Amino acid sequence: MKTRLYSLFAAVMLPVSVQAQDNIAPLQTQVPQIVVTGHGEVKVSPDRATVQIAVQTRAATASEAAAQNATKQQSVLSALRALGLTNDQLSTVNYQVYPEQRYEQGKDPVISGYNVTNTIVADIRRLDQVGKVIDAALSHGANLISSLQFYSSNTQGARRTAIASAIEMARADADAAARAAGGSLGPLLEINVMSVSPPRPQPMMLARAAGVAQADTPINPGDETLGVDVVTRWRFLSGR
Strands 144-151 and 90-102: unpaired
Indicate the helix (H) or strand (E) that contains 64: helix 62-82
Q: CA-CA distance, 184 to 180, in Å (whole number)?
A: 9
Which string of DSSP letters, residue by residue, matches 91-134?
EEEEEEEEEEEE--TTS--EEEEEEEEEEEEEEES-GGGHHHHH
Domain membership of residue 170 (yes or no) is yes
Domain membership of residue 117 (yes or no) is yes
Q: Are residues 34 and 118 in the same domain?
A: no
pLDDT digits (tens, 9 = 90+) for 36-60: 999 999 999 899 999 999 999 999 9
Domain end among 151, 182, 212: 151
Q: Mean pLDDT across the chain, nearest whole number?
A: 84
pLDDT at 224: 83
| Closest of 56, 54, 82 to residue 69, by C-alpha | 56
Q: CA-CA distance, 232 to 189, in Å (whole number)?
A: 8
Domain end among 112, 132, 151: 151
Domain membership of residue 212 (yes or no) is no
Domain membership of residue 193 (yes or no) is yes
Q: Are residues 73 and 147 in the same domain?
A: yes
Cβ atoms < 10 Å from Cβ of 9: 10
Q: Are residues 147 and 160 in the same domain?
A: no
Domain membership of residue 215 (yes or no) is no
Q: Are residues 97 and 159 in the same domain?
A: no
Q: Which domain holds residue 64?
A: 48-151
Assign residue 176 the CATH number of its domain: 3.30.110.170
Assign residue 88 the CATH number of its domain: 3.30.70.2970
Q: What's the domain count of the chain?
A: 2
pLDDT at 120: 98
**What band does 209 get if pLDDT is binned at 50, 70 and 90?**
very low
Q: Are residues 132 and 56 in the same domain?
A: yes
**What band does 198 get if pLDDT is binned at 50, 70 and 90?**
low
Q: CA-CA distance, 128 to 231, in Å (whole number)?
A: 40
pLDDT at 26: 53
Q: Are residues 102 and 133 in the same domain?
A: yes
Domain membership of residue 183 (yes or no) is yes
pLDDT at 70: 98
Q: Are residues 182 and 237 in the same domain?
A: yes
Pair 100, 61: CB distance under 8 Å: no
Domain membership of residue 39 (yes or no) is yes
pLDDT digits (tens, 9 = 90+) for 123-159: 999 999 999 999 999 999 999 999 899 988 888 899 9
Q: Are residues 60 and 179 in the same domain?
A: no
Domain membership of residue 77 (yes or no) is yes
Q: Are residues 126 and 109 in the same domain?
A: yes
Q: Are residues 68 and 129 in the same domain?
A: yes
**What band does 106 get if pLDDT is binned at 50, 70 and 90?**
confident
**What band does 103 get if pLDDT is binned at 50, 70 and 90?**
confident
**pTM for the model:** 0.66
| Closest of 50, 66, 52 to residue 138, by C-alpha | 52
Q: Are residues 124 and 158 in the same domain?
A: no
Share of the chain above pLDDT 90, in %: 64
Q: Are residues 78 and 147 in the same domain?
A: yes
Question: Which of 102-106, 187-191, 206-210 holds the top average pLDDT?
Answer: 187-191
pLDDT digits (tens, 9 = 90+) for 1-27: 444 433 333 344 444 444 444 554 454
